[in-house]
Each structure stands twice: as structure tokens, then as C-alpha cells.
Structure 1
């Protein structure tokens, strides 16, 4: 599933992303999505979608369908209510790993949970989250849902395997995805803290919050991303409080 690759580091700046902006949604797309179609920017490795979304209070995505996709949602601020046609529901918040396997077909909705009274106080905060899609190993699988809180592991400051289908992460990742060539890692870093990127044919680094430096490449700000091919081992060091999301992929889609 992989081909001979030349080492490559491709930095994509936040300002160059396409966007969808409507009254309740500010969504920035790392890859082609919806009406923002670019045939030269459809995926990297196995990752097809990396959407950086802010949803206003009391609003969200109404019930809509998905099929044959592994969807991982990572909340940075606020909370998001998930409901789907298989009977699963849950509130996703920072530090909670969540995966939905669309499989043979699923309907779901995602709404900002903040428009409500809690403790007698009205909370009307936006929710900020990143949603990422990878293809499954097989089409037509039974739809599924999984979530698990991993806040304690993130406090350690290293790369934490959030979602993985790879054998080497069995028993280590918080949740499983149905692709044996892909894994998502996350880290929360204080200024001066570092992590080292794994070696893999394809890596996708995204900085949803804060600022870091990438060894040999320089500064990365909020919303910046890096696509790596046939390379790894670089150090990422936070220059302010930061959060990073890293996909490790050992295969790619056909171009």
C-alpha cells in the first residue's frame, strides 16, 4: 500500500486553509471539503479530513449521514453533544477521546452543549473541536461508537496514543479505529516541553492551540500543519502552552 518515497516536509500555514463560514459555524479545512474542492489536496496518507471547527452556542450539525469512514473528534474548548442512529449518545469535552465508525451507514448529530443553565448560571460558550476522518480497512462494517477520558495521560506531557488500529498500540491507545495502518497521537505541552515524532512513511502534524517549534523547520503557530513523507525523529518544542495532534500512517490512498 506504500510506494518508494522521497523525504519531504511540507508546511501548511493556517491562513492558507479553505473555510466555511456561516452564522453558527466557522470551519477551516486542511483538505478539500464540501464546496472547497481542490483535486490536488484531497488527502495525506490515510487522512482525508482535518476540520478545525468553532460552533456557536445552541447550534450545531443537524442529523446527517456518513458511510465507510472512521471519524475521530477532539474537543479543545466547550462541549459537544453526539447522538446517532445506533442509539449511542454522549457529551464530548476536552480530554475525551471519541470515535465513530460510520461503516455500512449511520446518521448522527453534533450540537453545542453550552446553551443551558448549570448551577443557576447561563453558559453560552462556543465549542471548538477538530474532526478527522480516515478510511477503514473494510467497507460495510457494522457502525460503532467509542469514547474514553484520557485527561490524566495528557497531563504527563508526552505523546499519547488517542485512537489506533495498529497492532503495536493494542492495549495502549484509548480507543480503537478500524484501520491497522493508522494512529492518532495527542500531546499537551507547557513552554519548553518537547516530544519526538515517530518514524513513519506518512505523518500529519496539526497545532490546534498554542505555538511550537519544529526541529530544522522553525516556528508553527495555531492552525498550522505539517505533512511529512518518509521522515520522522524531529523534536517538537512548545514556545507557549500548546496542544498538538499527530497522525502516524503506514499506508496511503491511491492518488
Structure 2
């Protein structure tokens, strides 16, 4: 089953410095049919103006993955971590028992991110933060695991939940498969381009909520950059 969620159907709000689109209920946007997808709770498509951002604020009991599509985001938190994550790269914050952080676009250009929240399946642990580059060449024509709750995904950023975040870049006409299993749920968003899954076309920034499929086969209609969450 594939439920297409076109970009223009998403909730959201434009705050001037932040133009936020919400794939799931978030802040002032509430849709009882879009509360979560398995343990995936939030997928925000944020456009952040230069020299602006989110001032320090608290989180707890949430796995927060930030995928930078354009520009860069600078993170600082109450643990003393500070880092700048550029386009194509990923950062993960496990909020754990509690953390305060800020996220600023300190660049002179607009920054665009996907921010993904996944409910943890382990709790009571201290908070943590990490980031790493994922050069696009490594995921050309195939899926690469960006963040994972499983020990055997050694190169991925660790998250404390039964889920994976994977990414791929496909040239027009290329296909890639992701074996997921019928008991899992997937949520796929092309950061750029357009893809086809079965007979469903998914354009850039659309969401595709996928269930009851053993293997997801994605074919690029245009050159595409894809992010997918494999959720419990």
C-alpha cells in the first residue's frame, strides 16, 4: 500500500524567518489521520532564512535526525557540543533524559532541512549528539544507512529506536530496491527530483507512506535524492 501525501497537502506555517511544512501533526497543525507512521512521529520540511534559527529550547525522550538539503545548520547544546552540518550530511540528537539545544543558519544563504523525529524504544539514557558527512557518491544508485538503531549498521549514526534512516541518489532511469518486510512501515520523501514506486509518482518533497510491501522498488523519473525512514 502506498499513500501519497502531495507537498501542497502538508500542514505548516510561515514565520518569515522559518517556512515550515509538516508531514505529520506538529505545533499548530493537527490532522488526526497524520499523527505518526509507526514510530515515526515528525517529518518537518524547514526553510530557514540566513542568519536566523531556533534559539535554545529543551527536548527529551525523542530521536531527532536532521538531514541538510541545502546550506548548513549549526548546532550547540547543553552538553557542550557544537558542530556545523552541511548539505547532504546528517546529524542525530538523542534527547534521552533531557537536553537543551539551538539550531542556527549562520550562512549567507537559505538553509533547507528535513527534521525527522522518531519515538525511542530505549529510554532513561543520557542525551547525546553526533554528525557525519555522507558523500553523495557513496549512495549513488543504492541506499546507504544514515542513522540506525541496529548494531550491525556500523557506519551509521546510532539512534535508540527500532528504525533506520537511509538515503540514495538515483539518476533518471535508475532503480534501487530497499528490502523492508511486510511488518514494517516506510516513509519516503524525495529531497529533489521525482520517483515512481509501482504506479505512484512521488515528486520532490511529496511524502509516500508505504506499508505491506516486502521490497520497495524505486525508479527515478528525474535525477533524484531520496530519504526514507524504515519504521517499526
Give per-residue Cα distances to partners, 1:103-130, cap 9 Å, x unaligned.
111111111121xxxxxxxxx2100010
**Structure 1: 4+ residue segments shifted above 2 A:** 152-157
Query: SS where residue 15 of structure 1 aligns?
Result: helix
Following TM superposition, by how much is the alpha carbon of 1:9 offset from its aligned partner in structure 2, in angstroms?
1.9
Tell me the equivalent position of 2:174: 193
Q: Distance in 2 between matches of 1:140 and 1:233?
A: 34
Tell me the equivalent position of 2:189: 206
Which one of the candidate residues 207, 217, 228 is aligned to 1:246?
228
Q: Which runs of 5+ in 1 are unaligned?
A: 1-7, 115-123
Give per-residue Cα distances to partners, 1:150-169, cap 9 Å, x unaligned.
215535331000000124x4
Deviates more, 1:233-242 or 1:65-74: 233-242
Q: TM-score, length-normalised on structure 1?
A: 0.86
Counting matched residue pairs gives: 230
User: Is 1:132 aligned to residue 116 of structure 2?
Assistant: yes
Tell me the equivalent position of 1:224: 206
Q: TM-score, length-normalised on structure 2?
A: 0.94
Tell me the equivalent position of 2:8: 15
Give per-residue Cα distances to partners, 1:25-54, cap 9 Å, x unaligned.
111000000011223321001100000010
Which one of the candidate residues 129, 136, 141 is aligned to 2:125?
141
Q: Distance in 1 between matches of 2:113 and 2:160?
A: 22
User: Is 1:75 aligned to residue 61 of structure 2?
Assistant: no
CA contact under 8 A between 2:53 and 2:103: conserved in structure 1? yes
Tell me the equivalent position of 1:159: 143
Q: Distance in 2 between matches of 1:170 and 1:80?
A: 25
The 5-angstrom pairing of residues 81-120 of structure 1 reads 81-114=74-107
CA contact under 8 A between 1:150 and 1:174: conserved in structure 2? no
Q: 1:12 to 1:147 in 2, by over 3 A?
A: same
Tell me the equivalent position of 1:237: 219
CA contact under 8 A between 1:83 and 1:108: conserved in structure 2? yes
Larger Rg: 1
Query: SS where residue 196 of structure 1 aligns?
Result: strand
Q: Distance in 2 between matches of 1:82 and 1:60?
A: 10
